[in-house]
Structure 1
Amino acid sequence: MSTELAPGLFIQIFTPPLQLSGFKVIAFDMDSTLINIECIDEIADAAGKKSEVAAITEAAMRGEITDFKESLRRRLALLRGVPVEALQQVYEQRLRLNPGAQELMTAARTAGLKTLLVSGGFTYFADRVQQRLGMDVARSNELEIDNGRLTGRVVGDIVDGEEKKRQLLALCERVGCSPLEAIAVGDGANDLPMMSAAGLSVAYHAKPKVREQAMVAINEGGLDRLLEVVHPPR
């Protein structure tokens, strides 16, 4: 049973406050977590297929479609033929960092945490967001492009929920810390594997299934509200 610590901020399973310096790694989903959009839905808008793609995205994020890889393949297939310029338009015109993202990242870095962006979205956006926020590691899906257009496929294996978890555990291993010293932040069902592996799980404006399982749920305000629960160094 969760407790409302402050308006729009819920906790369960632990007693706050925690100290940010007590953690070594913090991992973030990208779409609708670090940024304000689902990039694949906005790319689909360029193909006139946003409603069709967005419906699949919503079902996947709510956990109604359990096979994330298959849901992504279905959505990608609808993007076949979209010109690569559409990616730049989405990035420049529609993508914004969510409130508090920069503040939380700065606090995490100051406290000595390694930062990970791990996304079922695309490198075109994830690499740029990583650079903007000064994050240590980014892992996402690379869109396959042929003659300046999307093929409707990705290069290599798809990053799904299990891969997100694997990336979190791999970074913990490199840092030399326990997963219990990691924080995982996400909003959709495919974030649950990495959230369950971390010592502290955070749901940000998340789907009901994710809010119910997270130790911290930020339902109002920005990402930096986590600092009300996990205090930065003075």
Structure 2
Amino acid sequence: MAHIILQAPSLMAADIERLAAVACAGGVQELGPTAVRLLDVDPDSRDEALAQAAAARMDAAWLDTVHRLGDCRVLAMDMDSTLVNIECIDEIADAVGRKAEVAAITEAAMRGEIRDFAESLRRRVALLRGVPETALEQVFAERLRLNPGAERLIEVARAHGLKTILVSGGFTFFTERLRRGLALDEAHANTLEVVDGVLTGRVLGDIVDGAAKARHVRELAESTGAAPEQIIVLGDGSNDLPMMSQAYYSVAYRAKPVVRAQARFALDYSPLDAVLNWFRLRH
């Protein structure tokens, strides 16, 4: 029988009871103050139950089977607005008073309105010409923060044997610092050209776009022997969709509508480590 995991920062007993009735649940298991599992739900109730959960502003994950986290092998994450709270390129642009201009292109690209991600990135990076490299350090130190639940998600995943990979259309300046700080297995991103301590407005090498993100995830999956059912991928923008398609556990985190519509799971209200409640953990 299937299960529904309901999560929200503030779960209301009345909402849980109503959802349990709609789903004809065989029972309710408390997973913590912000999560419950509706046990042995009626498969025919899926659409109505998920719609009512959304109306009640709860994250709902429909699971035909609750697997062990240790059966998974790969955890892949986007960086900007997924693992961290900002779009790094927008904050760098703020150093030269071009944040609004760059952010407008970023938003259009993430919504999928600009199909060529590489071209959109080059356009935005060109606007960064003349920015001192120290501005990147300032963004990392003063503005970049991990999104809630990020550290616990990574720590628990690693403890259960998963390989962790950060795959970003952003910049190695940030991904490498995060890789070291979070002890991630891999990180892939774009390299900004710097000459005499100043950004030139160019990117070195091939652009890490949606196709490249998918390739990095696929290569790690192949090296670990991971099937789609053993892969978790989190993202928020349209360029994350190709890598999310590699995973059964494709997770839209505070995502754009085009991503939310295509992901199997979504976290609209809960922190990143809410993913862990979809699995059985060893104690």
Same-fold call, TM > 0.5?
yes
**Letter in structure 2 aligned against 1:21:** G
Match of 1:192 in 2: 241
The alpha carbon displacement at 1:7 in A equals 4.7
Match of 1:10 in 2: 60
Match of 1:208 in 2: 257
Counterpart pick for 1:148 among 192, 197, 215 = 197
**Letter in structure 2 aligned against 1:61:** M
Identity value in percent? 56
Task: Give the Cα–Cα distance (whole angstroms) in 1 for the partners of residues 79 and 270 of structure 2.
Answer: 17
TM-score of the aligned structures, taking structure 2 as reference length: 0.79
Match of 1:130 in 2: 179
Q: Note if 1:168 corresponds to 2:217.
A: yes
Task: Give the Cα–Cα distance (whole angstroms) in 1 for the partners of residues 116 and 280 of structure 2.
Answer: 36
**Letter in structure 2 aligned against 1:190:** N
Match of 2:142 in 1: 93
- 187 and 16 in structure 1: CA distance in 2 versus 1, 3 angstrom threshold: farther
Task: Give the Cα–Cα distance (whole angstroms) in 1 for the partners of residues 255 and 232 of structure 2.
Answer: 16
**Contact 1:16 1:230 (C-alpha < 8 Å) held by counterparts:** no
Which has the greater radius of gyration? 2
Unaligned runs of 5+ in 2: 1-46
- 131 and 8 in structure 1: CA distance in 2 versus 1, 3 angstrom threshold: farther
The alpha carbon displacement at 1:16 in A equals 5.1
Task: Give the Cα–Cα distance (whole angstroms) in 2 for the partners of residues 176 and 197 of structure 1.
Answer: 13
**Letter in structure 1 aligned against 2:211:** E
Task: Give the Cα–Cα distance (whole angstroms) in 2 for the partners of residues 95 and 142 of structure 1.
Answer: 18
**Contact 2:248 2:264 (C-alpha < 8 Å) held by counterparts:** no
- 117 and 179 in structure 1: CA distance in 2 versus 1, 3 angstrom threshold: same
Counterpart pick for 2:271 among 222, 225, 233 = 222
Counterpart pick for 2:88 among 31, 34, 39 = 39
Q: Deviations over 1:11-31 (max 9, x none)?
A: 35x435332112101100000
Q: Deviations over 1:156-182 (max 9, x none)?
A: 000000000000010111112224321
Match of 2:39 in 1: none
The alpha carbon displacement at 1:212 in A equals 1.2
The alpha carbon displacement at 1:134 in A equals 1.3
**Contact 1:144 1:155 (C-alpha < 8 Å) held by counterparts:** yes
Match of 1:24 in 2: 73
Structure with larger RCO (C-alpha < 8 A, sep 6+): 1
Task: Give the Cα–Cα distance (whole angstroms) in 2 for the partners of residues 208 and 101 of structure 1.
Answer: 22
1:231 alignment partner, SS class: coil
Aligned length: 233
1:32 alignment partner, SS class: coil
Q: Deviations over 1:10-60 (max 9, x none)?
A: 335x43533211210110000001100000000000010000000000111
Unaligned runs of 5+ in 1: none
**Letter in structure 1 aligned against 2:193:** E
Match of 2:107 in 1: 58
